[in-house]
């Protein structure tokens, strides 16, 4: 059940923030309703009243984060397509930096969640939706650029898949391996190889 | 301890193959010395004699796989740099396909291992070494291409980091999310944006 059905958004927003902090601080393996309750300074009973399980709470958190992502970029329609594209890729590289936790902590936890996704249909559907939201933002910016004549006539979907993959792969290399500087390398190479070609 | 110290390479090779099958079939979470013994049709005692723990065996397996990777590409010196580069990226996309298991099963298990790497120094060091072997192969091919005048004068390290990140990210999207076709999109975009520019 959703907290919004019960007492408006305040408790829901509070629990989402606490869940985000808990996920960033402890990772997926040690994430629990008990820790979220402690982080929110609420009773375990309250958290259990709103969420049936750890997975239920994580699902709500993923939905919450994608709404946050969408609203962050909803106002960018007036920006040039290349700036919109850069802003989304910057987000993929360095993350939300929400509520006092840096993006690396979030993406490290997200990597753990993704490792469960092949075995968990519900989780995979949600993570896919979030991934598609990011890819679609990039594809939309590229499509606008092509339609406006600002970009070369590239395939928006394919180019978006490529760019998001490159930044996603570079970030995950840095967060899970000893590979400092890979994000900077990927972003610089994107300027060199893709944006220089893309922008006529 | 290594099996090679004890009875030549035969038992070691047999256990590596069994460990590879077990990792591909069960993933990291359900990997165990008991399952490897069953797969190898050997006693648990024999496996324990050669390997102290699950982590010890996985470490040997990762070392074994990187030697396999190196030997696969060691004979490619006569190929054109662009072909060497394509072959390594194809390997990153579709994997080793070793001993009757497809690359997707291997890379899905590897994703789980990487999710543990931020919390396990030894594992991270080994996975980093394997990752660097792949990146260095790409960088070497690019450097040779630049030196021979076949490629534009791009930065070999940066370009390699970018290309490996793109294919790694695309493959992991396909294996952990519902994102079919992302690898093909990334490889096609690499031809379009990078190789078309690279090859003079």
What is the distance in angstroms between the Cα of A73 and the nearest Cα belonging to chain B? 22
| pLDDT > 90: percent of chain A | 84
Contact A131 B188 (CB under 8 A): no
Within 8 A of B164 by CB-CB distance, chain A residues are 169, 173
Contact B157 A115 (CB under 8 A): no
pLDDT digits (tens, 9 = 90+) for B6-58: 455 789 999 999 999 999 999 998 999 999 999 999 999 999 999 999 999 99
Read off the pLDDT band of A8 (50, 70, 90). Answer: low
pLDDT at A150 over 90: yes
Q: Are A112 and A27 in contact (CB under 8 A)?
A: yes
Least confident residue range of A25-34, A57-66, B97-106 = B97-106
Question: Residue A117 has which token pair?
Answer: 């996704």
Give the pLDDT confidence score for residue B1 in this predicted structure.
45
Read off the pLDDT band of B3 (50, 70, 90). Answer: very low
Q: Which residues contact A135 (CB under 8 A, 6 or more apart)?
A: A160, A161, A164
Contact A162 B190 (CB under 8 A): yes
Q: Which of residues 85-114 of A touch B (CB under 8 A)?
A: 108, 111-112, 114
pLDDT digits (tens, 9 = 90+) for B146-192: 999 999 999 999 999 999 999 999 999 999 999 999 999 999 999 99
Between A and B, how many residue pairs show a Cβ–Cβ distance under 8 A? Answer: 141
Q: Are A151 and A196 in contact (CB under 8 A)?
A: no
pLDDT digits (tens, 9 = 90+) for B184-195: 999 999 999 999
């Amino acid at each position: 059940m959703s907290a919004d059905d019960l007492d408006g958004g305040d408790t829901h927003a509070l629990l989402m923030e606490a869940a985000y902090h808990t996920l960033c601080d402890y990772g997926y393996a040690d994430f629990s309703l008990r820790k979220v309750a402690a982080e929110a300074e609420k009773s375990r009973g309250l958290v259990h009243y709103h969420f049936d399980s750890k997975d239920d709470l994580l699902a709500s958190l993923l939905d919450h984060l994608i709404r946050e992502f969408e609203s962050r970029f909803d106002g960018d329609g007036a920006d040039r397509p290349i700036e919109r594209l850069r802003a989304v890729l910057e987000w993929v590289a360095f993350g939300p930096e929400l509520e006092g936790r840096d993006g690396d902590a979030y993406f490290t936890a997200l990597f753990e969640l993704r490792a469960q996704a092949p075995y968990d249909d519900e989780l995979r559907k949600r993570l896919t939706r979030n991934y598609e939201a990011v890819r679609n933002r990039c594809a939309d910016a590229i499509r606008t650029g092509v339609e406006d004549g600002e970009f070369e006539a590239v395939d928006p979907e394919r180019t978006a898949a490529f760019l998001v993959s490159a930044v996603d792969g570079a970030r995950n290399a840095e967060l899970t391996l000893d590979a400092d500087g890979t994000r900077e390398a990927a972003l610089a190479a994107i300027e060199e190889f893709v944006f220089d070609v893309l922008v006529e």
